[in-house]
């Protein structure tokens, strides 16, 4: 709990500083700092990219020696699309791609949710209102969150509709204090009782090379 509160305090301060200083963009330093505050005193590699291979259920993230280059490409891609992309679409991409790379030993989910929220606040030009913020709401909806990521993994990021819908509904809940009526965006794109697509090996294109970063999808 203390680490979570510390991470959110840092996240709020870095959002406000980026907006005040006119430097609204994502950086590797911000990402590493978000991870550090999430797992400080819990792991010796807090705030450092992982030095070994990790496995996440059926997903095998890229090898450790690829992490730095993949994260550099990730940050550059996000910043190139920061001004023009739909905010929720870009945040959905950030949430999926970060989890796919899985750059840290621990705290990847917490850091991905914080980075996603950073993008939304930067795009809005302010810390978004609401008593319970998006990262906590995503954590509450763990089943939907995991399903959305599995579908995105199975299409190498080509189908982010479930991630987008989940974020759209939870943002509505944060800002308005209640879930959207009639099931919201999630109900419109998630087939009831449908089996999720099965993810591949998590390595992107054939031969283990990552596929090119997809453009952020248009707003649903």
In this predicted structure, what is the pLDDT of residue 145? Answer: 96
Encoded tokens for 177:
């204090």
Is the confidence at residue 204, as pLDDT, over 80?
Answer: no
Which residues are CB-neighbours of 57 under 8 A, at least 6 positions away?
none
What confidence score (pLDDT) does residue 207 get?
27
Tokens found for residue 190: 């998630």
pLDDT at 4: 67
pLDDT at site 190: 87
Distance between CA atoms of residues 104 and 94, nearest Å: 15
The pLDDT value recorded for residue 6 is 80
Q: Tens digits of per-residue pLDDT, 124-137?
A: 999 999 999 999 99
Q: Which CATH number fits domain 2-51+61-197: 1.10.3290.10, 1.25.40.10, 3.40.1190.20, 1.10.3720.10?
A: 1.10.3290.10
User: What does the pLDDT read at residue 52?
Assistant: 96
CA dist., res. 9 & res. 28, Å (int): 19
pLDDT at 149: 96
Looking at residues 54-68, what average pLDDT do you find? 94
What count of Cα atoms within 13 Å lies in the side-chain half-sphere of residue 44?
1
Active site residue 102: yes
The SS3 assignment for 56 reads strand
pLDDT class of 3 with cuts at 50, 70, 90: low
Question: Cβ distance 150 to 197 under 8 Å?
Answer: yes
Choose the catalytic residue: 43, 102, 164, 176: 102
Does residue 123 have a pLDDT over 50? yes
pTM, two decimal places: 0.86
Reported as a single tens digit per residue, the pLDDT across 149-198 is 999 999 999 999 999 999 999 999 999 999 998 889 999 998 765 554 44
List CB contacts of 123: < 8 A, sequence separation 6 or more.
82, 87, 90, 91
- Least confident range of 33-47, 95-109, 170-184: 33-47
Measured CA distances, 184 to 17, 139, 168 (Å): 33, 18, 8
Q: Are 163 and 152 a contacting pair, CB within 8 Å?
A: yes
Residue 1: its pLDDT value, please?
56
């Amino acid at each position: 709990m203390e680490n979570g509160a510390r991470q959110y305090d840092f996240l709020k301060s870095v959002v406000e500083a980026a907006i005040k200083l006119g430097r609204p963009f994502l950086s590797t330093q911000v990402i590493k700092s978000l991870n550090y505050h999430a797992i400080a005193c819990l792991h010796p590699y807090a705030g450092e990219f992982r030095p070994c291979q990790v496995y996440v259920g059926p997903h095998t993230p890229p090898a450790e020696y690829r992490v730095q280059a993949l994260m550099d490409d990730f940050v550059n891609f996000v910043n190139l699309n920061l001004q023009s992309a739909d905010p929720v679409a870009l945040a959905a991409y950030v949430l999926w791609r970060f989890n796919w790379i899985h750059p840290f030993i621990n705290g990847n989910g917490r850091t991905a949710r914080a980075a996603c929220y950073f993008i939304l606040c930067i795009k809005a030009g302010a810390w978004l209102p609401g008593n319970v913020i998006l990262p906590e709401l995503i954590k509450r909806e763990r089943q939907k969150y995991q399903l959305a990521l599995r579908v995105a993994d199975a299409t190498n990021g080509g189908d982010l509709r479930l991630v987008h819908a989940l974020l759209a509904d939870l943002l509505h809940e944060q800002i308005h204090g209640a879930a959207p009526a009639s099931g919201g965006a999630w109900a419109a794109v998630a087939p009831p009782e449908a089996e999720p697509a099965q993810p591949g090996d998590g390595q992107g294109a054939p031969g283990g090379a990552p596929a090119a970063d997809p453009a952020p999808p248009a707003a649903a």
